[in-house]
Amino acid sequence: MRNNLENWCRQAIDLVNEQTEFSVYTKSSEDDLVTSVDRNLELMLHGLILEHNPTHQIVGEEHGLVGEESDHLWIIDPIDGTTNFVKQGKDFGTLIAYYYQRQPVLGALVDICNQDVYIAEINQGLFKNGVKIAGPNPLSLAASLVSFDPAFTPHFKPFKQLRDRSFKMRYIGACSLDSLGVVTGDFGVFVSHQGYVWDYAVPYVFAKVLGLGICRLNGDEFDPFTASDMILCNAEAYPEVRELIYE
């Protein structure tokens, strides 16, 4: 199944890179964007998944729930970071997860612009472009870059302590790539203040495979099917981040 997922991710990269023109629409607000590429890519992934797994169910950001109720669930965010895609033409990704009986099995983080596919598989490890690699080296909070949306600063009480105790703040603006920063060790912490199952299902797989810290902003246990916010951490930085939450 991992090989199929790798191939589907490669086809996703090809589809996006072939799009020289596309339409842009708004959803819930003027700055909540979706494009024809988002919609077409999700439909392509539907077809690829169901061709090999016709009884599986799929949920995606753009087309909702597809298929009959099943123990097998695929979760898709076709273009994560659509605003970056539209306004910058970079810093966006694709997220694909597979869960069995609501438990994580496989997750793919696709860095479209760099054409890199990262896949985490329970009991198998982390793979980059088909080659098994190690997870991030330990990072203390003091040595960590923290990915944090500055617009959310007034709503997160530990922000000042997190800023003061970390090395520096950074933010990409795409859950896929901000999460990938923790996976690769570029970031020690990623704080996401708003998201849905298609944003969080894949980071949760990576956290389980690599032993990363993951919780809600209030410190509660993380459930990708119900969580609306997330902290993803390097394992070494995680205890100190949790202390900040409860101070």
| Shared domain check, 209 and 162 | yes
Tens digits of residue pLDDT in 47-94: 999 999 999 999 999 998 998 999 999 999 999 999 999 999 999 999
Is the four-CA dihedral 154, 158, 159, 160 of positive or negative sign? positive
Residue 174 and residue 120 share a domain: no
Total domain count for the chain?
2
Chain mean pLDDT for the chain: 95
* Mean pLDDT within 188-217: 97
Residue 140 in domain: no
- Angle CA 145–6–77, to nearest 5: 60
At 118, which CATH number? Answer: 3.30.540.10
Q: Which residue range(s) make up the domain with 241?
A: 145-246
Q: How do residues 158-192 score in pLDDT, each as one tens digit?
A: 888 999 999 999 999 999 999 999 999 999 999 99
CATH number at residue 151: 3.40.190.80
Question: Do residues 63 and 168 both lie within one domain?
Answer: no
Say whether pLDDT at 121 is over 90. yes
Task: Verify that 25 and 51 share a domain, yes or no.
Answer: yes
Query: Does residue 25 lie within any of the structural domains?
Result: yes
Task: Look at residues 92, 93, 85, 14 and name the one whose alpha carbon lies nearest to residue 48.
Answer: 14
Same-domain pairing of 32 and 123? yes
pTM greater than 0.75 = yes
pLDDT of residue 156: 82
Q: What angle do CA 162, 164, 165 make, to 5 degrees?
A: 65
One domain, residues 80 and 122: yes
Kindly compute the dihedral angle of the four CA atoms of residues 23, 28, 31, 33, in this order, to the nearest 10 degrees. -30
In a shared domain, residues 109 and 154: no
Domain assignment present for residue 241? The answer is: yes
Residues 14 and 107 in one domain: yes
